[in-house]
Amino acid sequence: MHDFEFKEGQLWCEGVKVSSIAERVGTPFYLYSYKTLTDHFLKIQKAFAKLDPIICFAMKSNGNLNVIKSLVDLGAGIDIVSIGELGKALLAGADPKKIVFASVGKTEEEIAFAIETGILLFNVESEPELEEINRIAVKMDRKVQAALRINPDVPAPTHEYTNTGSLKKKFGIDLGTSRQIFKAYKKYSHVKINGLHIHIGSQITSGVPFVGAIKKVITFIDELSAEGIKIEYLDIGGGLGIIYKNEIPQTAQQYADKVIPILEKTGLKIIMEPGRFIVGNAGIFVTKILYVKDNGLKKFVIVDGGMNDLIRPMLYDAYHEIVCVAQNKGARQKFDVVGPICESGDFFAHDRLLPKVKKNDLLAVMSAGAYGYVMSSNYNMRPRVGEIMVKGDKFKIIKDRETFKDLMRGEKIVTW
Ligand SMILES: Cc1ncc(COP(=O)(O)O)c(C=O)c1O
């Protein structure tokens, strides 16, 4: 599953002891395993080989240049949601013809840059957005391709905030409106609408919702085809769940076995947008204990990382396994693992069983590779932490910890 393992009581990432990295770079930091990252990508590539899909890594899950480049080097495309992500994907060497662009609120500047770059597809999320893309493409005298992001309105068992395939959510276009758009497709002189896109949510562990959504959209494609409208691309989105605690998610192969028989009959070019599946378990967050305190009612482990570094526990009530980097066999007690930030929501775990721990012990918050660093902030004037990657028996700093100067960039005292 991943390459973070205990050997003789010490946590290792591939061939490097996690504590030795902490000694060299200080805490807190994110740590990624190159092997886990690339193995997960290759698992999807292998399972879906029969369809030869374009696998566009959803870089919103982890936007580090080295993470993206590691995947691009294996043939990955990129799923982007902003002009910043597009710029970074290009820096990492991504092929524009393997870039797809979703986002419910693309700005004129973003659309123009994406047209200029020559991306593969705009995943369009509303009729006014389609009109805007056409207007800008006319102005630039360029022809572009688009997929309508269909909101299939299917139930997806996941957290309310990561559920995107219901009509109660802002994402995509309902089937009725999509039909109207195709009826009037000739008015979009510079946009070839030759794709459909779905992304129903994230951390979905069962195949059922994916199959339901795919079947729905294929029925729509058949309907369009009967009217002479040809669809070439079907982007089936991301959303594959991973193990954080005791989930039993479908494997890439199980997912492929369910959907390939449905997809291969269509003859469509398939695009996928996995994020969490590739990078979630390829990263951990390493933090150091500052204090241990007991207020009579509860015991707290106070660490040097906070909710600004990893917000998933607070935002989604997400569970992350927490382990001592140096295993300790002492009797286990319940602790709240909390950060230094002035919010009661600043926690990594409540009532978590940990062995006897003390100041300066290192803790690893597991499965933190996806939606970890990318969601971090400078709240409480805290610098973003560094990011480290291990490959074999070497580690490299792939992003420096921010400095006070970084925190102050652009800010100035004005006179009136
Ligand atoms: C359009 C789109 N595609 C792909 C993804 C990636 O999802 P996941 O990380 O669950 O695979 C997301 C995540 O929210 C998304 O919004």
The CATH number of whichever domain residue 19 belongs to comes to: 2.40.37.10
Residue 173: closest CA among 148, 137, 139, 193: 148
334: which strand partners? 353
CA–centroid distance, residue 60 to ligand 1 (Å) = 8
137: which residues sit within 8 A by CB, 6+ positions away? Answer: 115, 143, 144, 190, 191
What are the helix and strand counts (H, E) for the chain? 12, 20
One-letter amino acid for residue 413 of the chain: I
Give the pLDDT score at 323.
97
Per-residue pLDDT of 188-210, as tens digits, reads 999 999 999 999 989 999 999 99
CATH number for the domain harbouring residue 174: 3.20.20.10
Which amino acid residue places its CA nearest to atom 13 of ligand 1?
Answer: 202
Q: What is the pLDDT of residue 159?
A: 78
Whether residues 79 and 217 share a domain: the answer is: yes
Residue 91: pLDDT above 80? yes
Whole-structure pTM over 0.95, yes or no? yes
- Residue 276 CA: which ligand 1 atom is closest? 9
What is the distance in A from the centroid of ligand 1 to the CA of 356? 39
Bigger pLDDT: 159 vs 373: 373
Do 86 and 163 reside in the same domain of the chain? yes
Per-residue pLDDT tens digits for 92-133:
999 999 999 999 999 999 999 999 999 999 999 999 999 999
Measured between alpha carbons, how far is 70 from 68 in angstroms, rounded to an integer? 5
Positions marked active-site = 342
Same domain, 240 and 350: no
If asked whether residues 19 and 39 sit together in one domain, one would say no
Is there a single domain that holds both residue 197 and residue 128? yes
Q: pLDDT (tens digit, 9 = 90+) per residue, 146-156?
A: 999 999 887 77
9: left (phi over 0), alpha (psi -120 to 50) or beta: left
Pocket of ligand 1 (CB under 6 A): 58, 60-61, 79, 102, 199, 202, 237-240, 273-277, 370
Comparison of pLDDT for 169 and 16, the residue scoring more: 16
pLDDT of residue 169: 85
| Ligand 1 nearest-atom number relative to CA 370 | 9
The total number of structural domains in the chain stands at: 2
User: Does residue 227 lie in a domain region?
Assistant: yes
325 near 11, Cβ under 8 Å? yes
User: Ligand 1: which of 41, 44, 61 to mutate, judged by most atoms within 8 Å of the beta carbon?
Assistant: 61
Residue 50: per-residue pLDDT: 97
54: nearest Cα among 267, 271, 236, 234: 271
Clarify whether residues 227 and 110 are in a common domain.
Answer: yes
* Domain termination site, one of 278, 311, 339: 278
Output the CA 162–ligand 1 centroid distance in Å. 9
Residue 415 lies in a domain: no
Residues 244 and 312 in one domain: no
| Proportion of the chain above pLDDT 90, given as a percent | 93
